[in-house]
Amino acid sequence: MSQLHIRHLKTHFEKYRPYIDMTDVTTSDSAQRESHFLSRALAAFTLESQAATTAEVACDAVIDGFDDNGIDLVYFDQQNYVLYLIQSKFIHSGSGGPEQAATKKFCDGIRDLIEARYDSFNSKLKRKVPDIQLALDDTRTRIRAIVVFSGNQMSTHAETDLERLRAEINDPTEYIDLSTRDLAQIHGWLTGIVQANDISFEIMLSEWGKTDTPLQAFYGQVNCLEFASIYEKFTARMLNQNIRKFLGDTTINEAIQATISERPELFFFYNNGITLICERVEKTIKGGGDRESGTFKCTGAQIVNGAQTVGSLRRVCDKKREQVAKAKVFIRLISMGSSPGSLASEITRATNTQNKVEKKDFVTLDPRQERLRQELFLENTQYVYKSGEPIEMRDTVTIEEATSALACASGNLAYAILAKKEIGKLWENIDTPPYTELFNDSLGSQRLLRCVQICRKIDDVLAGHKNEKGDARNLAVHGNRVIQHVVLRLLDPAVLAIASAEHEERIAELTSRVFDCALKARALLFPDALLGRLFYNQTKTTEIVNAIVGELRENA
């Protein structure tokens, strides 16, 4: 059976031949050349299957070749903040797996990439450095690293190397999803594409309604366990037309899972719901003619919005199935009929991009934000705390800047870490700390503005290091909030109160000293830690901060 699967893959991979760059493969051996093509095609197929890209985009992401450091494909999904790193190995026999040396090289390549050590990579990778740095410098980014091979078994030693890397990078929080995919799973992606239109099921909606123009659609409530069971049957095949797959344990998905587990009766009110487009939706005779409940047959169904909801439901089912059975979720079933295929794409795009509410939007409910806006306006500064508000003044402060600056000036290192790691946590609840410790009745506009000014000055100094290589650049990018925290902690009260040329010089001088001390502390205390992750660990960051402050006070 494995040879049949291999043949299916080879046939499908022909679609990539016009797009995959083979100019660097100089061998005259046709068999070796074909092996290079198939491995590159496998990498492209993996990306296209997992990130919903086009074949051309997937092939452009392939960097396989001499000096690829074990990474055969690099792609940054900017819409979903996912950096894909893929190693591929096409095994003609359909058995076995990659050698440990190959997976170890992949692990070392990922470490080099995270630490911005690009010199050892080939020109294909270096062409993608701007995208890579954009990804790694954004705290919202998560890495999906995949070892994909058309065999049936990974070696124990190779798995150990991958697990060691996973544990190293995911300390203290999950940053990388590192997985392996074998022939059976790869072929499953292929059959999922081929058989997507075969997905058919019946589903019962309560308190349902319908609309007939311009498309026919039915909507109502569905029991979460019923829908999770449908998804369990068809799994990822139901997401072929979604712009993204289930992203795992992100902050949002953890919140979804917590609601299902702890307050299932409120899930309908908390969740935005699920949208499916179908080739055809038909009301059956089950349930009668009233709107209290009805059973609908869905043919050619695809989830186009709600992948995170469905994936979270399925995950909670494994542990708390009885809680999932207590929850309901809103669902829309859209019958496409003979509508053009482009309309399905438009619906997919719109349902995933329109009316998105961010955590920061809830700060608009706090009257103190409006007070600060009015006070800053009188000082000729526009304070922007509402999404979509136009910039109308030359001097502007955003809610993001203000929150980050106040967190770093709070004296609480944990808040400074959150400002870098996940600023949304500082807005999570406007009635409790940390939000109320940063924004409260005693906060005046002058203190807010001065904290922002100081942080901007610190950033100006750090910007001079961002063109350097290695630890200097990574510290300037990933350690900026911790450096702001230390500088604000050590500045004289007069500098914190009033802006002046002398005070700006003092801030710049202290920032440079803190930066140098931070480099020394990192080299002394945690020389092997990944700098991109080091400052997410509060215990280690506290040690570094204490070392910086100790050296500065000793040499004062």
Task: Check pLDDT > 80 for residue 247.
Answer: no
Domain-terminating residue out of 174, 192, 210 = 192
Confidence at 352, pLDDT banded by 50, 70, 90:
low
**Amino acid found at 179:** S
Residues 226 and 269 in one domain: yes
**Amino acid found at 132:** I
Beta partners for 146? Answer: 86, 179
Mean pLDDT, range 405-415, rounded to an integer: 97
- Which pLDDT belongs to residue 302? 85
Mean pLDDT, range 408-437, rounded to an integer: 93
Beta partners for 293? Answer: 206
Phi/psi at 536 (5° precision): -95, -15
Helical ranges in 242-394 per DSSP H: 251-262, 267-270, 307-317, 321-325, 341-353, 367-377
Beta partners for 280? Answer: 299
- Which pLDDT belongs to residue 194? 56
For 164-181, give the DSSP string: HHHHHHTSSS--EEEEEE
Q: How many angstroms separate the Cα of 128 from the Cα of each of 71, 107, 119, 163, 475?
A: 13, 19, 13, 27, 21
Q: Work out the mean pLDDT of the chain and round it to a whole number.
A: 88
Which residues have CB under 8 Å from 279's CB, separation 6+? 197, 299, 300, 301, 335, 336, 337
pLDDT in tens, 11-70: 999 999 999 999 999 988 999 999 999 999 999 999 988 876 888 999 999 999 888 899
Residues 337 and 379 in one domain: no
Domain-terminating residue out of 159, 192, 225 = 192
pLDDT in tens, 87-118: 999 999 999 999 999 999 999 999 999 988 88
Domain-terminating residue out of 319, 353, 387 = 353
Helical ranges in 129-176 per DSSP H: 129-136, 156-169
- Which pLDDT belongs to residue 81? 84
Residues 209 and 183 in one domain: no
- Which pLDDT belongs to residue 549? 95
Residues 140 and 268 in one domain: no
- Which pLDDT belongs to residue 306? 85
Q: What is the DSSP pairing of strand 382-384 with strand 396-398?
A: parallel
Helix (H) or strand (E) holding 102: helix 100-114
Q: Which residue has the tokens 């007939």?
A: 212
What distance in Å separates the CA atoms of residue 389 and residue 200, rounded to the nearest whole number?
45
Q: Sign of dihedral through CA atoms 226, 229, 233, 236?
A: positive
Terminal C-alpha separation, the chain: 74
- Which pLDDT belongs to residue 341? 53
Phi/psi at 149 (5° precision): -150, 145
Residues 283 and 228 in one domain: yes
**Amino acid found at 204:** M
Report CA 148 to chain centroid distance, whole Å. Answer: 21
Helix (H) or strand (E) holding 114: helix 100-114
Confidence at 303, pLDDT banded by 50, 70, 90:
confident
**Amino acid found at 389:** E
| % of the chain with per-residue pLDDT over 90 | 60
What's the pTM value of the predicted model, to 2 decimals? 0.70
Residues 99 and 142 in one domain: yes
Q: Are 425 and 432 in contact (CB under 8 A)?
A: no
Number of domains in the chain: 3
Q: Are 97 and 182 in contact (CB under 8 A)?
A: yes
Mean pLDDT, range 170-193, rounded to an integer: 83
Mean pLDDT, range 304-317, rounded to an integer: 86
Helix (H) or strand (E) holding 273: none
Residues 205 and 188 in one domain: no
Residues 28 and 109 in one domain: yes
Task: Check pLDDT > 80 for residue 337.
Answer: no
- Which pLDDT belongs to residue 443? 96
CATH of the domain at 79: 3.40.91
Residues 212 and 276 in one domain: yes
Task: Check pLDDT > 90 for residue 546.
Answer: yes
Report CA 491 to chain centroid distance, whole Å. Answer: 36
Task: Check pLDDT > 60 for residue 196.
Answer: no
Q: Are 522 and 471 in contact (CB under 8 A)?
A: yes
Phi/psi at 278 (5° precision): -130, 150
Task: Check pLDDT > 80 for residue 434.
Answer: yes
Mean pLDDT, range 351-379, rounded to an integer: 78
Torsion of Cα atoms, 413 then 419 then 425 then 430, to 10°: 90
Mean pLDDT, range 404-416, rounded to an integer: 97
Give the range among 78-82, 400-404, 448-452 with minimum mean pLDDT: 78-82
What distance in Å separates the CA atoms of residue 465 and residue 461, rounded to the nearest whole number?
8
- Which pLDDT belongs to residue 469? 82
What distance in Å separates the CA atoms of residue 428 and residue 362, rounded to the nearest whole number?
8
What distance in Å separates the CA atoms of residue 144 and residue 135, rounded to the nearest whole number?
12
Residues 38 and 159 in one domain: yes
Query: What DSSP state is assigned to residue 91?
Result: -
Confidence at 468, pLDDT banded by 50, 70, 90:
confident
Q: Which domain holds residue 332?
A: 196-353
Mean pLDDT, range 423-428, rounded to an integer: 88
What distance in Å separates the CA atoms of residue 30 and residue 394, rounded to the nearest whole number?
63
Task: Check pLDDT > 70 for residue 523.
Answer: yes
Residues 333 and 253 in one domain: yes
Helix (H) or strand (E) holding 208: strand 200-211
Q: Are 552 and 423 in contact (CB under 8 A)?
A: no
What distance in Å separates the CA atoms of residue 5 and residue 151, rounded to the nearest whole number?
11
Residues 131 and 30 in one domain: yes
